[in-house]
Amino acid sequence: MKIALVGVTGLVGNVMLKVLEEYNLGDFDLLAAASDKSVGKEIIFNNKKHRLYSVQEVLNSMPDIAIFSAGSSVSLHYAPLFAEKNCYVIDNSSAWRMYAHIPLIVPEINANRLTISDKIIANPNCSTIQMVMALAPLHITFKIKRIVVSTYQSVTGTGMKAVNQLLRERKGIDGEKIYPHPIDMNILPHGGDFEANGYTTEETKLVNETRKILNDNNIQITATVVRVPVLGGHSEAVNIEFEQDYSLEAIYKILRNTPGIIVEDDPTANKYPMPYFAQGKNEVFVGRIRRDFSRENSLNMWIVSDNLRKGAATNAIQIAQYIIAQGWKK
């Protein structure tokens, strides 16, 4: 079996290499693709050197599974070409997410929607993944009516240049600015590009992707995306209104029994999820679970996850793991 990683030198690509080493996908050959300026260089994977190829060279090698993390333009051009060669493409960009015929997959929630003929599979946005991980099992039991979410998103979600901007500013060094304002000692209510309606593209993704993954277009959702000077992961304050009443005991039980969720919620011991401790972990952490007394059937919770892990790389590798487990690729 051949597994290709396209965009292997980026932040997410580097984490994908680590996650691939951690997950047991069986025996496979790695085909690592990068931009033209990196072709010919080498990376280390499983203690072995691997040459970096161009995307076209990897395509010519006929991989069985290709995981893309190289931006929408690369995905839009190359994903259909890989699919034509009977390759399963798992795309981490936003290019294919909202096409009706393209499955948008979080394996713990809706992997069963995949079929052997789904050759292009979309990986959801990082902030969407961690939110629906916590909300999907609650939706099954209590049916979600409305979601209000405010995110506190790590600079790692913007890429290495944003990380460098933060670290330079922290040291008082001038350099390239990725954000329109300083990010150190600051927060920016701005994620993605502003749209005509006043919302940003990141906020719109949260709305549309959540409805698609939960398979319910009736859920009312409003979002505010905020960028914070943090490296460890994304955090979200989420308010959920259910159609049915609930008990906190039932909420805790459902979440604690959900694979991929860790409940950290003990205010008396100052125990709650934080990106500082979520970094490098694959799970989604949930805490500050409490009833919203201002509105019937409503709940507040705080959700944290490493956006480069479960928010991107881990979710993609889990999709590949599912495809292999079905016997669609051997």
State pLDDT tens for residues 14-70: 999 999 999 989 999 999 999 889 999 999 999 999 999 999 999 999 999 999 999
Residue 134 lies in a domain: yes
Whether 229 has a pLDDT exceeding 90, the answer reads yes
107 neighbors 124 (Cβ within 8 angstroms): no
Give me the phi and psi of 43, to 5 degrees please: -125, 165
Give the residues across from 33 on adjacent strands.
6, 53
Classify residue 188 by its DSSP letter: B
Specify whether 234 is catalytic.
yes
Whether 182 has a pLDDT exceeding 90, the answer reads yes
178 neighbors 165 (Cβ within 8 angstroms): yes
pLDDT level of residue 330 (50, 70, 90 thresholds): low
> Mean per-residue pLDDT for 208-219?
98
Q: Which of 84, 129, 90 is nearest to 106 (CA)?
A: 129
Together in a domain, 252 and 221: yes
> Mean per-residue pLDDT for 93-98?
97
Together in a domain, 160 and 115: no
State pLDDT tens for residues 281-298: 999 999 999 999 999 999
| Dihedral over Cα of 259, 264, 266, 267: its sign | negative
- The catalytic residue among 50, 87, 139, 234 is 234
Together in a domain, 30 and 153: no
Residue 330 lies in a domain: no
CATH number (domain holding residue 101): 3.40.50.720
Q: Which residues span the domain enclosing 103? A: 2-124+312-325
Together in a domain, 46 and 156: no
CATH number (domain holding residue 144): 3.30.360.10
Together in a domain, 159 and 285: yes
271 neighbors 288 (Cβ within 8 angstroms): no
Together in a domain, 84 and 62: yes
Residue 266 lies in a domain: yes
56: Cα separation from own chain's centroid: 26
Give the residues across from 236 on adjacent strands.
151, 303
Together in a domain, 118 and 144: no
- The catalytic residue among 126, 139, 181, 190 is 126
State pLDDT tens for residues 107-165: 999 999 999 999 999 999 999 999 999 999 999 999 999 999 999 999 999 999 999 99
Share of the chain above pLDDT 90, in %: 98
pLDDT level of residue 83 (50, 70, 90 thresholds): very high
Q: Between the CA atoms of 225, 230, 234 and 237, what dihedral angle is there, to the nearest 10 degrees?
A: -60
pLDDT of residue 17: 96
Specify whether 87 is catalytic.
no
Together in a domain, 147 and 174: yes
What is the tally of structural domains in the chain?
2
pLDDT of residue 329: 72
Together in a domain, 41 and 81: yes
**Can you give the length of the chain in residues?**
330
**CA–CA dist 13, 7 (Å, integer):** 6
Share of the chain above pLDDT 70, in %: 100
Together in a domain, 230 and 188: yes
Identity at 273, one-letter amino acid code: P
Whether 242 has a pLDDT exceeding 90, the answer reads yes
**CA–CA dist 129, 199 (Å, integer):** 20
Together in a domain, 133 and 236: yes
Together in a domain, 145 and 281: yes
